[in-house]
Structure 1
Amino acid sequence: MMALAMAGAPVEGDVLISDVTVIDPASETVTAGRDILIDEGRIVAIAPHGEGDLEAARVIDAAGHFVIPGLNDMHSHASFAPIHLSSLKLMHANGVTGVREMGSDCKDEGSIGMCLDAMRVSREQIANGELVGPKLLELSSAKIGMRRAPTKDPVELFYEPSSAEEARASVTFMRSRGAEILKISQEWTPEGFTAFMDAANEADVRVGGHIPMWTSTADAARMGVTSIEHARDLPMDCAAVGAEMRDQLKRKLSGEDLPWPDRRSIPGRAVAEHDAALCEEQVRAMAESGTYYVPTHLTREMDYRAVEDEYRNDPRMAYVPAMQQRHWNRDLDRTAQAPPELIEDLEDFYHLGLRTTKIAHDAGVKVLVGTDANDTMVFPGFSVHDEIANLVEAGLTPMQALAAATTVPADYFGRDDMGGVSEGMVADLVLLSASPIDDIANTTSIEAVIQDGRVSDRATLDALLDEVKAFAAGSGTDE
């Protein structure tokens, strides 16, 4: 950071954003007519317009414009090798300056999924300005879950342990690889998951993902799961069907001669049997345990909208290469085969998910914006704005929804130098032409993205979008 100026001398920096309205979710304030000076990647001064004697090599006239902190996608999948670079470009072009990558490793070198070493190379290149994209703030393991039959493959057993002993060894192995959060699947025995979580807690390593099918949201929180992903478990656990289904699964896994639960009945029953008292118990456990919630409402939206031509023909498909579109269309076709009554239940379940997110937020649960980027119909970068809008639809204020993409991620990472707009903060900012406080859709009115003090103006962002569109229309392989 630059040294303090001598008395009477101007304060100098690299970039000056002049006469802007500052929207700061960290302080929940909106302040008009401010000059922001950036130097060496940090905000070094904020002053009333024209009163701070601030100078910079580059001045951005931001009169009539608004600045917010850079946005974070806290459940992203940009680690597919063929679309890695294009995904990063789309994120940057949409004001995403940080991501938590929830699938940053692979079991086999050379697979379509990138391994941690390759992701760390990208992280360094982004930090050095050699690669366009958001900061890779946290890199997860590949998905970890139990298998019923033992494996003799010495690597597979770490990703799919079949005993409590192997589950504990999995934690050690993933830590040795450098995984910063351990991503879990739903497939666990009670004994195996308890051993895994005990080892993870002892190692002080984060755990997040799909909680075991027999474990309630509250129990997973109490066991130390750092973040619960997707608006699926919590809405179910806010009804009697949740405990009933989980008990049946637990008994089935213990060897009782029972049928598997009818999973198709769960969305309709969760809606019909919603119980405020049960919900209060679940969210209280999350809040008391400090468990973060990443509802990724977009994934539940796909469940019921797969039948809609308008949804499937989203114009943003122009940024998705043919090979990915084929994968998405297969998923859409499969989902659309559900009977009409189930599709209606899934739509109601999506809206129940929004309501339970609001219940959780109001109870003190820390809600994070995450998208599941590159999952079916989840467009990297663009969908961060969709998910922020979903939080407003759920009942959060625009400022609270912005906080879920800015200050709450900063809290998750234990960072006091990101997620806000104040002196000393890292200069990750998005300049908007309209206020998202007036209309949350205005988060898309992006005029410039500033990351670590480096400015991408509208022309630069448009060029990135054009590059991705050309890539998607061409070979479908990043170069």
Structure 2
Amino acid sequence: MSDTVVLRGATLIDGTDREPIAHAVLAVRGETIVATGEGEIPEGARILDCSGKTIMPGLVSNHAHVGLVDGADVGPGHYTRPNILRQLAQYEAYGVTTVTSLGLNGALFCELRDEMHAGKHPGADLFGVDRGVGVPNGAPPEAMFPLGNDQLFRPRTPAEARAAVREMADRRTDFVKLWLDDFAGALPVKMSPAIYEAVIDEAHARGVRVAAHIHDLEDARAVARAGVDLIAHGVRDAPVDEAFVRLLEANGTWYVPTLALDESTFAYAERPVWTADLFTQHALQPALRARFDDPAWRARTLHEPKSAAARASLATNLRNLKTLHDAGISIGFGADSGGTPLRVPGVSEHRELALMVEAGLTPLQAIRMATRHAAALLQLGDRGVLAPGKRADFIVLDADPSHTIANTKAISAVWHRGRPVRGPIETFVP
């Protein structure tokens, strides 16, 4: 009997510039796609009738976190094997088959990353930053991110910064991350140019790319001039200008807007319809669900100044994404999920897709950002599109998202490494 499985009859969104293919064939052998589109069905293949369904690539996140949160709490004690594997399982159940944990990782990270690459555990494949480089008495703020001693470097001199980069490079970090800004004026200091220039120079000397946490346009401009490879958040204080566009274009700098980050600050208190649907509710651990159901927490959150600031940041971020997309800048995908309890793994990625469309992208453009482009940012040529020779990481949907982006939530099954690993969301328990 053939070891090939053919999914037949679905609409295929392959992650490329092609329009969706109706009544398509997707053939899988082992972990690999062997035929797509209008291809012939291999003789003896096992056939699965997917008529009425849509198949799209698994989502690839360029900016997430693992091991920082458990329930409604943040703390260094959560960076454990069971908690991280639980979160990676949740990402996978929500169709995010590859995750980049962009910093604040403990000593366990490298070991788990290698195990996930080898497929030893259920859950999303794992890439990321080792620890990352922050600022003494600055970003990331200790009150927001209580961390263990093995989760962050805070160098005081360029020499210390270079040593931190070398240590991370020796552990084969996928990126180096730096936190440049002062969190919209909430912190007393920013990272000095001497430090971030040393980080970028040393990382590039070791063949490692650098991601930067920013909020404001001038900080983004400064770090892009210094040669950073990835701006890991959208510019949220001012409209981007032509000079900034030209700078990113000339340097080949990637840009990840993380729109859902600011929305999460107020959304669960405001309670739009999507926060109450089964797709969201099945992602919430009991302690977090209790917090969201607490009227006092909701009232307090909605009246906090940070909620108004987040609304303004989101509006600016949306406009800037459209400007940069239209200018042809390389844009990746991520929601900074897992960074705080409000940024719920899996849910945040689907909110990011919805917000990209709200910004003015078409659903297919948003899907390409979250699949092909996100894989290209990670320099992964084996995933992100559905084509012969690629990994069979894909989502089977009960509805077509090519015109209505909310249909990415209609998950019937998730296939990872060539086999079905998850079913409908209502069967998932966080």
The TM-score range, normalised by the shorter chain, is: 0.7 to 0.9
Out of 384, 395, 403, which is 2:349 matched to? 384
Q: Is the 8 A contact 2:134 2:178 kept in 1?
A: yes
Give 2:390's aligned residue: 425
Give 1:116's aligned residue: 109
Whether 1:31 aligns to 2:24 is: no
Over 3 Å counting, the alpha-carbon distance change for 1:213 and 1:177 in structure 2 is: farther
Whether 1:351 aligns to 2:315 is: yes
Displacement of 1:335: 5.2
Q: Is the 8 A contact 2:371 2:385 kept in 1?
A: yes
Give 1:59's aligned residue: 47
- Of all paired residues, the percent bearing the same amino acid is 29
Q: 2: CA distance between counterparts of 1:196 and 1:170?
A: 8
Displacement of 1:121: 5.2
Q: Is the 8 A contact 1:197 1:223 kept in 2?
A: yes
Q: 2: CA distance between counterparts of 1:434 and 1:213?
A: 38
Q: Is the 8 A contact 1:146 1:192 kept in 2?
A: no
Matched residue SS, 1:24: coil
Matched residue SS, 2:20: strand
Q: Is the 8 A contact 2:217 2:238 kept in 1?
A: no
Q: Is the 8 A contact 2:169 2:203 kept in 1?
A: no
For residues 7-35 of structure 1, the C-alpha deviation after alignment (integer angstroms, 9 at most, x for no partner) is: xxx9x443111122211222332111222
Out of 223, 226, 246, which is 1:220 matched to? 223
User: Which amino acid in structure 2 is aligned with residue 369 of structure 1?
Assistant: F
Over 3 Å counting, the alpha-carbon distance change for 1:306 and 1:418 in structure 2 is: closer
Q: Is the 8 A contact 1:371 1:384 kept in 2?
A: yes
Over 3 Å counting, the alpha-carbon distance change for 1:73 and 1:156 in structure 2 is: closer
Displacement of 1:205: 0.7
Q: 2: CA distance between counterparts of 1:221 and 1:145?
A: 17
Displacement of 1:168: 1.4
Q: 2: CA distance between counterparts of 1:458 and 1:157?
A: 34
Q: 2: CA distance between counterparts of 1:181 and 1:282?
A: 23
Give 1:167's aligned residue: 161
Matched residue SS, 1:447: strand
Give 1:412's aligned residue: 377
* Residues 318-333 of structure 1 aligned to structure 2 (within 5 Å): 319-321=283-285
Give 1:454's aligned residue: 419
| TM-score with structure 2 setting the length | 0.81
Q: 1: CA distance between counterparts of 2:309 and 2:54?
A: 40
Q: Is the 8 A contact 1:18 1:59 kept in 2?
A: yes
Over 3 Å counting, the alpha-carbon distance change for 1:462 and 1:303 in structure 2 is: closer
| TM-score with structure 1 setting the length | 0.74
User: Which amino acid in structure 1 is aligned with residue 35 of structure 2?
Assistant: A
Displacement of 1:139: 2.1
Matched residue SS, 2:388: coil
Between structures 1 and 2, the one with greater helix share: 1
Out of 41, 51, 66, which is 1:78 matched to? 66
User: Which amino acid in structure 1 is aligned with residue 373 of structure 2?
Assistant: V
For residues 34-85 of structure 1, the C-alpha deviation after alignment (integer angstroms, 9 at most, x for no partner) is: 2221112111123537x444432x4221112211111112211123436323
Whether 1:366 aligns to 2:325 is: no
Give 1:473's aligned residue: none
Give 1:145's aligned residue: 134
Q: Is the 8 A contact 1:104 1:119 kept in 2?
A: no
| Structure 1: gaps (5+ residues) | 1-9, 107-113, 150-154, 239-277, 469-479
Q: 2: CA distance between counterparts of 1:214 and 1:390?
A: 21
Q: Is the 8 A contact 1:18 1:35 kept in 2?
A: yes
Displacement of 1:389: 0.8
Q: 2: CA distance between counterparts of 1:311 and 1:325?
A: 15
Larger Rg: 1
Q: 2: CA distance between counterparts of 1:450 and 1:158?
A: 34
Over 3 Å counting, the alpha-carbon distance change for 1:311 and 1:437 in structure 2 is: closer
What CA RMSD, in Å, does the superposition of the two structures yield over aligned residues? 3.1
Over 3 Å counting, the alpha-carbon distance change for 1:376 and 1:331 in structure 2 is: farther
Matched residue SS, 1:159: coil
* Residues 186-225 of structure 1 aligned to structure 2 (within 5 Å): 186=180, 187-211=190-214, 216-225=219-228
Displacement of 1:394: 0.5
Over 3 Å counting, the alpha-carbon distance change for 1:54 and 1:63 in structure 2 is: farther
Q: 1: CA distance between counterparts of 2:334 and 2:113?
A: 21
Over 3 Å counting, the alpha-carbon distance change for 1:28 and 1:220 in structure 2 is: farther
Q: Is the 8 A contact 1:76 1:99 kept in 2?
A: yes
User: Which amino acid in structure 2 is aligned with residue 189 of structure 1?
Assistant: S
| Structure 2: gaps (5+ residues) | 68-78, 139-148, 181-189
Q: 2: CA distance between counterparts of 1:312 and 1:364?
A: 31
Over 3 Å counting, the alpha-carbon distance change for 1:60 and 1:382 in structure 2 is: farther
Out of 227, 252, 255, which is 1:290 matched to? 252
Give 2:183's aligned residue: none
Q: Is the 8 A contact 2:337 2:348 kept in 1?
A: yes
User: Which amino acid in structure 2 is aligned with residue 144 of structure 1?
Assistant: V
Whether 1:281 aligns to 2:275 is: no
For residues 305-350 of structure 1, the C-alpha deviation after alignment (integer angstroms, 9 at most, x for no partner) is: 46535689756356433566689999978754535xx754542331
Q: Is the 8 A contact 1:77 1:102 kept in 2?
A: yes
Q: Is the 8 A contact 2:27 2:41 kept in 1?
A: no
Matched residue SS, 1:406: helix
Over 3 Å counting, the alpha-carbon distance change for 1:306 and 1:198 in structure 2 is: same
Whether 1:42 aligns to 2:37 is: no
Q: Is the 8 A contact 1:331 1:376 kept in 2?
A: no
* Residues 122-133 of structure 1 aligned to structure 2 (within 5 Å): 122-124=115-117, 127-128=118-119, 130-133=120-123
Give 2:5's aligned residue: 15
Q: 2: CA distance between counterparts of 1:33 and 1:157?
A: 48
Q: 1: CA distance between counterparts of 2:35 and 2:226?
A: 43
Give 1:236's aligned residue: 237
Give 1:185's aligned residue: 179
User: Which amino acid in structure 1 is aligned with residue 315 of structure 2?
Assistant: H
Q: 2: CA distance between counterparts of 1:448 and 1:318?
A: 15
Q: Is the 8 A contact 1:91 1:381 kept in 2?
A: yes
Q: Is the 8 A contact 1:218 1:283 kept in 2?
A: no
Q: Is the 8 A contact 1:226 1:290 kept in 2?
A: yes
